[in-house]
Structure 1
Amino acid sequence: MPADYYELLGVSRDASEDELKRAYRRKARASHPDANPGDDGAEARFKEISKAYAVLSDPEARARYDRFGHEGLRGGMGGPAFDFDLSDIFESFFGGNPFRSSRTRRPAGPPRGDDHETVVGLDFAEAVFGTDRSIDVRAMVRCDDCDGSGAAPGTEPTVCRACEGVGQVRQVRQSFLGQMVTTAPCLRCRGIGEEVADPCRSCSGEGRRVEQVSLVVRVPPGVEGGATLRLSGRGSVGPRGGSPGDLYVHLRVEESEMFVRQGDSLVAELPVTMLQAALGTTVTFETLDGPTELRVAAGTQPSDTIRLGGLGVPRSNGRGRGDLHVVVRVDIPKKLSRAEAAKLREVAAERGEPVEGGPDPGRDSDESSANVHQGDGELRAPKRRKRRSARGRS
């Protein structure tokens, strides 16, 4: 079971803020890892004391701890879990971080190169099926004259005299906690651990130079606009043989005039005439895979959908493709010739459907043809009367 925080700091439960600060300073000095060389448990004790002070110095956390104990700090009593940063606590009191010591020194070596970004535009079909796209990027590349070392041909870099090849320098200072050891990058070699006495003239000792680089970006099938491809190691190389950064390719996809993408599916519209929809027809429809014969069944209604399986977008998991959904749009002619209108009126008469300019089997000859009545400002449809059967007429 975790130790009581008040007991850890050696204060009473009604201790003031000043009493908590004084107690923490005293306990921190005594348990600091640098003040206890060879004591493997010193760091754990120091962390626990710092956590105790972090909780008790926060009014809300202290109230939850007083009421629920350690369980209240884990968010188990209706409140959020309490979090803290040992570095912030220690630095606010003493300056510096005791956990950044010579035991955690960064290994020497040249720094990594910069990342780069570029934008590639794709048409709709390229995004669906994927493509290989050639691009040009200005980036830092390895200097061939010095093979990336930064040293003039025939010479080699030497171990840095300031840091002895470590890439960092240590500074020791005295404090009330004893000796404090800090590390910082070596200014002489810029953290690389090596220095160049005779720099390469082609790259001025950098080991790299700017060039226009041509790359081929392989765009996988099914990508969407706004997606980003990461090309590992295709950014700029680091100085003096440092590892290269990455290249991030942002994709922009043009909209299609014919297709709309919905996930792995494609949606398109097929315009047909009212006679084709009524009688049925077969039309040639242009898909992304090429033309295909599309059968429109007799009696097809507006917005009916014809599904073409496997003609959509390739799935990201590589398991086939989505479907193509063709939505039927029935176009009504706005103008008819006299002969065409007469034939359609004959059809309407045979079906017993009243039309303008033709006989109305459902109305008396003296009935008004108005279909909108004005009165209180509302539009009303006329009351429908029962149609007489076309067969029963004399």
Structure 2
Amino acid sequence: MAKDFYTILGVGKNASEEEIKKAYRKLAHQHHPDKAGGSDAKFKEVNEAYQTLSDAKKRRHYDAFGSAPQGGQSSGGGAGFGGFQWDFQGGDFSDIFSDFFGGGGQGRGQPHRQEKGEDIRVALHSTLEDSAFGAEKELSIKRDVECSRCKGSQAEPKSEIVSCAHCGGTGRVSRQYRTMFGTIAQQSACSACQGRGKVPKHKCTQCHGAGVRKETDTFKIKIPAGIDSEQMFKVQGKGNAAPLGAQSGDLYVAVTVAKHPIFSRKGSDLYLDLPVRFSQAAFGDKIDIKTLYDTVSLKVPAGIQSESVIKLGGKGMPRVSGFGKGDLLVKVRVQTPAKLSRRQKELLEELKKENL
């Protein structure tokens, strides 16, 4: 009696390709011979059903005649594995493969060698003045530093370095998996020696063989002139140290610049509101302006209007690129007096008569 492939996979005759694939993956996991309660016979049966129903031509033949096509009617399959012919045409087996191996079909892992310590990220609060002049700050962070006893070697002083017993000195270990594709050997870095093939006979008693120790490290850093909020700068080599002479990681400092009581900032330009009396606006004047760097005499032209902007070139923030500074943009705010003396009222009445 012909097998009912739809019943074997637990799907209806109108099931989509995705539904068939989903059902197959579930049953392949359930009945895999390497799993507890798995069945080799059931696993083969599920595979046979999937081989037919996942191929459009084979499925049409099966629906018409109640059996899978034989011999030359196969549609471009791949080589046989473990007694099955696997048809890769139009199918994506990479995700199924990864289900068995936990992340891709790489049959041969490369030995792991630590090239560099891990990077560290910290936050730093700065003032606008510190950002403008590039201030020096003292920073204290906890990070891995080289062990003072073994100097990063992981070994007790004068201890022998011997071949790793776990991997036989190769730095690699092999594991074999039984899969739907047959038995596959996979190599990975030895966890006992981190892929080096050698280990100290006696581990350092201070760092317990790590080669590094967690300590509070205090040092000075220079804030780059012109840096702005949400920008980051790197301090090379001040991340976590790595054992066996490998390069230390880097320290990344994320800066937050506090709001200034006088100046506001956009990019490398600074902005300043300047209150101006009515008479100064009408007749013009010279007003002393305090910038971040010095005091300048600003010429306010006669008849200037409120909201007008006067630019002081090169009085803004340094550009992080190192090329010059931005500008200081002074916005004039003509003030209207809230209270007037009798004399001021009389004068304004006279001006009113002159249409001013």
The reply to whether residue 16 of structure 1 matches residue 23 of structure 2 is no
- Structure 2: any 5+ residue segments left out of the alignment? 1-50, 63-67
The corresponding residue for 2:106 is 100
Contact 1:305–1:325 (CA<8 Å) still a contact in 2? yes
The residue aligned with 2:122 is: 118
Q: Quick one: distance in 1 between partners of 2:137 and 2:186?
A: 49
- Look up the match of 2:273: 269
Question: Which aligned pairs between 1:1-394 and structure 2 lie closer than 5 A?
Answer: 14-16=57-59, 27-30=77-80, 50=88, 52-54=90-92, 87-91=94-98, 99-102=105-108, 105-110=109-114, 112-173=116-177, 177-349=181-353, 351-352=354-355
- Answer yes or no: is the 8 Å Cα contact 2:112–2:194 preserved in 1: no
The 2-side partners of 1:15 and 1:320 are apart by 73
The separation in 2 between residues aligned to 1:124 and 1:24, in whole angstroms, is 74
Query: Is contact 2:290–2:296 with CA below 8 Å preserved after alignment?
Result: yes
Distance (Å, rounded) in 2 between the aligned partners of 1:154 and 1:191: 23
Provide closer, same or farther for how the CA distance between residues 182 and 126 of structure 1 changes in structure 2, counting only shifts above 3 A: same
Give the residue type in structure 2 aligned to 1:52. Answer: G
**Greater C-alpha radius of gyration:** 1
Q: How far has the Cα of 1:253 moved from its partner?
A: 0.7
Q: Secondary structure at the match of 1:303?
A: coil
Given that 2:95 and 2:104 are in contact with CA atoms closer than 8 Å, whether structure 1 keeps it comes out as no
Following TM superposition, the consecutive aligned residue runs of length 4 or more in structure 1 with deviations greater than 6 angstroms are 9-12, 21-26
Identity %: 30
Q: Which amino acid aligns with 2:106?
A: R
Match of 1:66 in 2: none
Q: Distance in 2 between matches of 1:51 and 1:321?
A: 62
Q: CA deviation at 1:266?
A: 1.5
Pair 186,274 (structure 1): closer, same or farther in 2 beyond 3 Å: same
The answer (yes or no) to whether the contact 2:132–2:226 under 8 Å persists in 1 is: yes
Q: Deviations over 1:36-67 (max 9, x none)?
A: xxxxxxxxxx9xx746223xxxxxxxxxxxxx
Residues 338, 346 of structure 1: alpha-carbon distance in 2 compared, 3 angstrom cutoff: same
Separation in 2 of the partners of 1:50 and 1:260? 63
- 2:90 is matched by which residue type in structure 1? A
Residue aligned with 2:207, SS: coil
> Structure 1, residues 209-264: CA drift from partner, whole Å, max 9, x if none?
12221233332222221222233432112345444333221111101111111222
TM-score by length of 2: 0.71
Alignment size in residue pairs: 295
Partner of 1:377: none
SS at match of 1:27: coil
1:95–1:119 Cα change, 3 Å: closer
Find the aligned partners of 2:57 and 2:236 in 1 and give their Cα distance.
Answer: 58
CA–CA separation in structure 2 for the residues paired with 1:156 and 1:18 = 69
Q: Does the Cα contact within 8 Å between 2:111 and 2:189 map onto a contact in 1?
A: no
Using the TM superposition, give the Cα deviation of residue 17 of structure 1 relative to its aligned residue in structure 2, in angstroms.
Answer: 9.4
